[in-house]
Structure 1
Amino acid sequence: MTRAVIAGNDVSSLGEALTTEGVDVTTAAGTANRDALEAAGIAEADVLVITEMRLATSIPVAKELNPDVRVVVYAEGSLPDFARGQAGHILDPKLMDPSFVAEEVAAA
C-alpha cells in the first residue's frame, strides 16, 4: 500500500481522492515542520504531497528524514528554486483533476 503525507490545506480534496485509490493518507499539521512531518509518518511514507507553496521548506526536511520519499507539489503558484530540484512533480490544481493525480500517485 502506498503511504502519503499531505502538507498544507487540501482545498482540492486530493487526500480524499488518494484514499479512494487505496493510498494511506496522513496530514502533517501546521507548517509541516520536522516534528509535524515525523508525527505524520514521513519516515515510512512513499510520497509527500505539498498543497501550499508556502510550505516548500518542508521538502528538504522530509528528504532529510526519508531520502527516498517522492515529492508531489499540487498547488498554485511558483515553487522556490531551493525546493524545485527535490520535487518530482509540480502540478497546478487548475490544470490537473485530483482524481487523475491520485491515480498516478497510487500507480507509481
Structure 2
Amino acid sequence: MTGRAIVVGPDDDDITTALEAEGADVVRLEGVVTRPQLEEAGIVDAGLYVLTDVGQATTIPIVRDLTDELRTVVYARDTIPEFVRGQLDLAVDPQLVDASLVAEELVD
C-alpha cells in the first residue's frame, strides 16, 4: 500500500505516527464518522483504512461500499463486532503487536 491511509478513532497506540514514518499520507478522522466525511477525506483514493474505535465499526461496510481497492484494518483492543469480521483484511490488538511493526507490514 502506498499513498493515502485513513485512520478513524483515537490514536492512543500511535498508529498514525508509525504509518507516516513508513511514508503513508495519513488523514485522521475522529468522532462519529459519516460517509460524506470519508469521501471528503479521500477514501476512494486511499489504499488503507485503519479503524481504532470498534464503536465506529459501521464505517467498514460504508468503506467497502465506496471502494474495494483498499485494505481494511482494525487496530484496537476491543472485540470486533461479528457483522464486520468478514469485511476486514486484518484485525490486530495493539497490546500484542507494536504500531511500527503493523505499519511496516501495511505500507509497501
Kindly indicate whether residue 91 of structure 2 is the aligned counterpart of residue 73 of structure 1. Answer: no
Which ranges of structure 1 fall in alignment gaps of 5 or more residues? Answer: none
TM-score between the two structures when normalised by the length of structure 2: 0.94
Alignment partners' CA distance in 2, 1:40 and 1:61: 14
Structure 2 CA distance for aligned equivalents of residues 64 and 12 of structure 1? 28
Partners of 1:63 and 1:15 in 2: how far apart?
21
Corresponding residue for residue 3 of structure 2: 2
Give the 3-state SS of the residue equivalent to 2:68 in structure 1. coil
**Contact 2:10–2:30 at 8 Å: present in 1 too?**
no
Give the distance between the partners of 2:98 and 2:42, measured in 1 at CA.
26
Distance in 2 between residues matched to 1:104 and 1:3, nearest whole Å:
15
* Runs of at least 4 residues off by over 3 Å: none
Give the Å deviation of 1:28: 2.6
- Structure 1 CA distance, aligned partners of 2:49 and 2:70? 7
Q: How many residue pairs are counted as aligned between the two chains?
A: 107
Identity %: 41
The answer for unaligned runs of 5 or more in structure 2 is none
